[in-house]
């Protein structure tokens, strides 16, 4: 009886061991692939790499690109940090991590940025994308265009938050490039990633990266990520003395293991990086023209004209179009920080020459003067309102008194977006043009002015070749 019991116990123990090995093997086979890269943030030199160009699931590291575009859009004047964003059903339905947004709710863009950067809130990231581009699909197009402009050669994006989706892939190399870009391109915003907590409007939210920030000397950012397909990801940056190192880990097996691996990588970076090295700032991004679907989905913002004092006429002020270069970078009015930007944050670049800066001084601002018809007396049947007569006066100085009209749009914002898109697409022919929006006939005309006749003719022909309707305007 004892012998039989002993044999039964041995067989049972063997079965437990075999079952355990099978489970361990299955779990290991499902583990996310590992990749890592370490870079000297000052020079951009790669100090260590393993599987760094393998396309993997980035998870919430994706939000670094969403935030980069948000900062860019704010600096360009496309949207304000004070803009109240209306939350869509799609954004409100995103799975955790979430801020807890409700469909129809309005919240300031600044709070969405904080929630995405600190809490890694998926609903906030989606709302940011929709606010900037009109839909998440259009925002994904902008993400891919921006990624290419930043030198992220092996990344493709499908959504704003990083939830697992077919084709939504990046690399440790590309994410390190992006982290470095955030530091150099937007130093005035970078410090948000070092906050342990922040006010996100609906709640005070804690930083998902606070353990690493507290544990590693010199760490000041930047972003965590996790999904079952990606594993535990992290892009982190730290400064010690004159050195700044940035590194990315994909495929960690736990938060603790990932943080320990990141500490090893940063230690390696500080050991390998020279004490003195020439700072090689990233070049300004070189963008392609936005895709038509993206441009069509951009949100429009309308503004009204103002009455001229002492006159029955009304002047509709022509809005200077959004520039293709960021505004001078400085202290932001909105992403309010308890701490200043990092001490080694690079001095802001002077903006690259904007297209508008190349306008000759002889080009005067076009003004639309609308003679307001007197208010009709009350009648049993209200008469059909007469359409105001619109007169456009173009400068005749220097021979640059021709223009190109792209057509009439329902809103001022839509007209401005069309001008921006075409200005980017046809920089060769429209470099000397000034972009203006003219209110007339119940809509908004998108016009380029300040051209010679030859320039206007050539620009319109090239735009028509791009399937863009247009016509030239003479004096």
Q: Given the structure tokens 């019991």, which residue do they identify?
A: 5
CA atoms within 13 A on the CB side of 114: 23
Angstrom distance (rounded) from CA 100 to CA 393: 52
Catalytic residue from among 63, 158, 239, 436: 63
Catalytic residue from among 88, 120, 135, 155: 120
Is 60 labeled as catalytic in the residue annotation? yes
Q: Output the 3-class SS for 345-400.
A: CCCCCCCCCCHHHHCCCCCCCCEEEEECCCCCCCCCCCCCCCCCCEEEECCCHHHC
Is 63 labeled as catalytic in the residue annotation? yes
CA atoms within 13 A on the CB side of 224: 24
- How far is residue 351 from each of residues 75, 79, 150, 286, measured CA to CA in Å? 11, 18, 17, 14
Contact (Cβ atoms closer than 8 angstroms) between residue 175 and residue 224: no
Residues noted as catalytic: 60, 63, 120
């Amino acid at each position: 009886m004892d012998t039989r019991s002993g044999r039964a116990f041995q067989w049972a123990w063997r079965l437990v061991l075999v079952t355990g090995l099978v489970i361990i093997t299955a779990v290991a086979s499902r583990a996310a692939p590992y990749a890592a890269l370490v870079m000297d943030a000052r020079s951009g030199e790669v100090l260590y790499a393993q599987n760094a160009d393998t396309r993997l699931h980035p998870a919430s590291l994706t939000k670094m690109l969403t935030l980069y575009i948000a900062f860019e859009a704010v600096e360009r004047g496309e949207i304000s940090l004070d803009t109240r964003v209306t939350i869509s059903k799609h954004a409100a339905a995103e799975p955790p991590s979430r801020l807890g947004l409700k469909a129809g709710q309005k919240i300031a863009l600044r709070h969405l940025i904080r929630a995405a950067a600190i809490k890694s809130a998926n609903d906030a990231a989606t709302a940011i994308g929709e606010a900037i581009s009109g839909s998440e699909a259009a925002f994904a197009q902008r993400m891919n265009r921006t990624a290419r402009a930043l030198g992220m050669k092996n990344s493709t994006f499908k959504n704003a938050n990083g939830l697992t989706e077919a084709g939504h892939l990046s690399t440790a190399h590309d994410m390190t490039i992006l982290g470095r870009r955030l530091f150099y391109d937007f130093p005035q915003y970078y410090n948000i990633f070092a906050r342990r907590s922040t006010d996100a409007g609906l709640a005070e939210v804690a930083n998902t990266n606070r353990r690493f920030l507290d544990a590693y000397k010199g760490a000041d950012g930047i972003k965590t990520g996790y999904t079952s397909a990606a594993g535990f990801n992290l892009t982190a940056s730290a400064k010690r003395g004159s050195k700044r190192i940035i590194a990315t880990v994909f495929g960690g097996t736990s938060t603790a293991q990932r943080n320990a691996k990141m500490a090893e990588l940063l230690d390696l970076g500080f050991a390998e990086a020279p004490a003195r090295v020439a700072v090689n700032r990233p070049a300004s991004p070189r963008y392609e023209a936005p895709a038509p679907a993206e441009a069509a989905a951009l949100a429009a913002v309308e503004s009204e004209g103002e009455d001229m004092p002492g006159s029955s006429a009304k002047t509709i002020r022509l809005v200077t179009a959004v520039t293709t270069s960021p505004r001078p970078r400085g202290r932001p009015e909105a992403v309010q920080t308890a701490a200043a930007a990092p001490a080694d944050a690079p001095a802001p670049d002077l903006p690259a020459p904007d297209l508008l800066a190349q306008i000759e001084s002889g080009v005067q601002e076009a003004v639309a003067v609308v003679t307001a018809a007197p208010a009709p007396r009350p009648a049993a049947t209200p008469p059909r309102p007469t359409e105001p007569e619109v007169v456009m006066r173009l400068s005749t100085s220097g021979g640059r008194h021709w223009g190109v009209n792209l057509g009439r749009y329902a809103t001022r914002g839509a007209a401005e977006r069309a001008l921006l898109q075409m200005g980017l697409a046809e920089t060769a022919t429209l470099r000397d043009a000034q972009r203006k929006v003219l209110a007339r006939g119940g809509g908004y005309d998108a016009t380029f002015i300040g051209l010679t006749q030859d320039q206007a003719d050539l620009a319109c022909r090239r735009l028509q070749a791009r399937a863009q309707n247009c016509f030239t305007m003479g004096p």
